[in-house]
Amino acid sequence: MEDLLIIGGGPAGYAAALRAAQLGLKSILIEKDRPGGTCLNRGCIPTKALIKSALLYEQMADLASFGINTAEYTLDFTKVQERKARVTEDLVKGIEMLLEKKGVITVKGTATFLDSQRVQVLTEEGAEVLEAKNILIATGSKAFDPPIPGMDLPGVIGSDEILNIDHVPKRLFVSGASVIGLEFASIFLAFGSEVHVSGRTFLKREDAEIQRRLQNLLRRKGMKFHLGGRLQRIEQREDGLEVYFEGKKGEESVIVDSVLMSAGRIANMDGLDLKAAGVEFDNKGIHVNEFLETSAPGVYAAGDVIGGEMLAHVATHEALYIVGRIAGEEGPIDYRAVPACTFTIPELASVGMTEEEVKSEGLPYKSAKFPFIAASKAQCDGSTDGFVKVLTSEEGKILGVHILGAGASELIAEATLAIAHDMSAEDLYETIHAHPTLPEALSEAVMATQGLAIHQL
């Protein structure tokens, strides 16, 4: 009998398999497609490859200000897609090689529980039964869109389809001002699409000030927002698709060429037969305790399938924790500092509490910002949009950091470390930051909470 059976080869599953190999545990990884899951094959990685191309294309328009004269330039979207596919393929092959070199047994197929220690796996060769002392469910999530009349019309697509689209739509409607929706909206806006975005909310988990500023920046770039109401229906017209939605003055509509449905994602529990294993769940996902163990002893779950923060890095962290626990490590998992990044143009990143959360808990606090326009490196780079916002307790403990601007996803790492280790504002700003660099903006923002910022009036 194996020590660990892993269902799903995404960021949680393959990480668990590799850690199990490191710790000398015998494991089997079941994956119906290729390792990497949605994140690597159809999500985080391919979209970031597209974002890079989109950002470079957008920056081309401003090269003259840097003293670089280009008579003309064009977009070869076929090569953009080829590069995205190459980046994704290289990374998938890298994970496949790691699994092979570490001696991880992988089975390509779909798993269904027979009981809490046995699963039936359906492969191309037939069905086989696998047994293990412990089982990790890491089946991730799947796209969810509420049924809307007209969703089956040609030109109405999901995130998988738009990743492989062979052209840049002249007019694109994005249903859902979510992370996924806004990233694709930014990509195609940069490539030249007329972009409309609808949604009941706008990045609802982010700090309200960040929401407002990002929305304003995207509007300045030409993105059109229709927020506050639901998508009603889609109808075919001679000149495109007419999309109807709730507007400020009642029902409104626009005509576009393509509609991206990106309302959100839900836990993927398809075909698992969790009841056979005695695993409790609801429509939000599988129920787990503080040790990520389900209601069935020895059966664990990690990542998107348990709901909560649907982030690849959280899934990986949870999986490594579970394997460590199986190997004998103690203690509950620590979620105090979970960074989140949204790769719009410009990007944003956050960790810790929002200002609204601090207020709702009635905590005395200090809030300060430092604009990138006052940062030397941002001026050199020509990327001055945005700011760093820091929230601390009255005693100076860092409660939350929110960053909008170029490099936000890299800058958030220092802030995450600070919150994870209960650092104070003084701890951070007394650390010497290299000059000229973007992290100086974080240091200045932290100093500003104490009224000590140097480069700010």
Instruction: Summarize pLDDT for 288-322 with one digit per residue, the tens.
Output: 999 999 999 999 999 999 998 899 999 999 999 99
Average pLDDT in the 35-63 region? 94
Q: How confident is the model at residue 145 (pLDDT cuts 50, 70, 90)?
A: confident
pLDDT at 356: 97
* SS3 at position 450: coil
The overall average pLDDT reported for the chain is 95
Please state, in angstroms and rounded to a whole number, the distance separating the CA atoms of residues 214 and 404: 7
The pLDDT, as a whole number, for residue 46 is: 96
Report the distance separating Cα 48 and Cα 219, nearest Å: 22
221-270 pLDDT tens trace: 999 999 998 899 999 999 999 999 998 888 999 999 999 999 889 999 99
Residues forming a β-bridge with 172? 195, 258
Q: Give the number of other CB atoms < 10 A from CB of residue 205.
A: 14
Pick the CATH number of 2-143+266-326 from 3.40.50.880, 3.50.50.60, 2.20.25.10, 3.40.50.300: 3.50.50.60
Instruction: Label each residue of 214-242 as H, E or C.
Output: HHHHHHHHCCEEEECCCEEEEEEECCEEE
Is a pLDDT exceeding 80 seen at residue 457?
Answer: no
Name the residues annotated as catalytic: 435
Kindly provide the b/e burial profile for residues 36-48, where b requires at least 16 CB atoms within 10 angstroms of the residue's own CB: bbbbbbbbbbbbb
Q: Where are the domains of the chain?
A: 2-143+266-326, 156-263, 340-449
Structure tokens at 79: 């090569």
What pLDDT does 84 receive? 97
Do 340-449 and 2-143+266-326 have the same topology in CATH? Answer: no
Q: Cβ distance 400 to 353 under 8 Å? A: yes
Q: Angle at CA 165, nearest 5°, toward 89 and 235?
A: 150
In a 13 Å sphere around the CA of 392, the CA atoms on its Cβ side amount to 25
**pTM value?**
0.95
Higher-confidence residue of 62 and 79: namely 79
pLDDT score, position 184? 97
What integer pLDDT is reported at residue 330 of this predicted model? Answer: 84
The hierarchical CATH code for the domain 340-449 is 3.30.390.30
- Mean pLDDT of the region 437-450: 96
In angstroms, rounded to a whole number, what is the distance separating the alpha carbons of residues 7 and 137?
5
Among the residue ranges 27-31, 61-65, 93-97, 416-420, the one predicted with the least confidence is 61-65
196 closest CA partner among 211, 209, 177, 217: 177
- The pLDDT of 12-25, averaged and rounded, is 96
Gap between the Cα atoms of 207 and 337, Å rounded: 16
Residue entry with tokens 């059976």: 5
* Amino acid found at 307: G
Separation between Cα atoms, residue 70 and residue 163, nearest integer Å: 29
Mean pLDDT of all residues in 104-119: 96
Q: What is the pLDDT of residue 248?
A: 80
Mean pLDDT across 80-107: 96
Does residue 456 register a pLDDT over 90? no
Alpha helices in 192-328 (DSSP H): 208-221, 274-277, 312-326
Confidence of residue 2 (pLDDT cuts 50, 70, 90): confident
Assess if CATH 3.30.460.10 describes domain 156-263: no
367 φ/ψ angles, rounded to the nearest 5 degrees:
-130, 135
Secondary structure (3-state) at 402: strand
Residue 71 has pLDDT above 80, yes or no: no
**Mean pLDDT for the stretch of residues 168-179:** 96
Per-residue pLDDT, 274: 97
* pLDDT confidence bin for 278, thresholds 50/70/90: very high
- Residue 332: the pLDDT is 84
325: closest CA among 347, 357, 293?
A: 293
